[in-house]
Amino acid sequence: MRSFDLTCPGCQRPLEISDFSRHLASFGALAAAAVVWWFASARFAQDASALGWVLPILYSYLAFSVVAPLLLILLADLRLSSELPARVPREAPAHHSSH
């Protein structure tokens, strides 16, 4: 089962994660990344090499990458999907050329 194939057990309609949950997880991850960047910048402020500005950015990116999915796992709210299922693309007949 793929994660995009979630269906309601009662009515069998497709489910999706609410926009509010996605935005809340993103905002929380941005806040965590900003805090990590601030601490890392204070730690590496004396470093005159390239690591002085690269490591805070790297650490904040990693913090965002870890915190966003964790918050989404904890805060996700499922709702009935408002979109129709995606149509499966059909292949063009063999006699059509792709020129």
Give, for all 99 residues of the chain, the pLDDT tens digit.
455 677 878 887 888 888 899 999 999 999 999 999 999 988 877 766 777 788 899 999 999 999 999 999 998 888 877 766 555 566 766 666 555
Question: What count of other Cβ atoms lies within 10 Å of the Cβ of residue 43?
Answer: 13
This prediction has a pTM of 0.69
Q: What is the pLDDT of residue 60?
A: 96
Q: How far is CA 12 from the centre of its chain?
A: 26
DSSP string, 79-91: EE--SPPPPPPPP
Residues 6+ apart with CB under 8 A from 67: 28, 29, 32, 33
Looking at residue 80, its pLDDT comes to 79
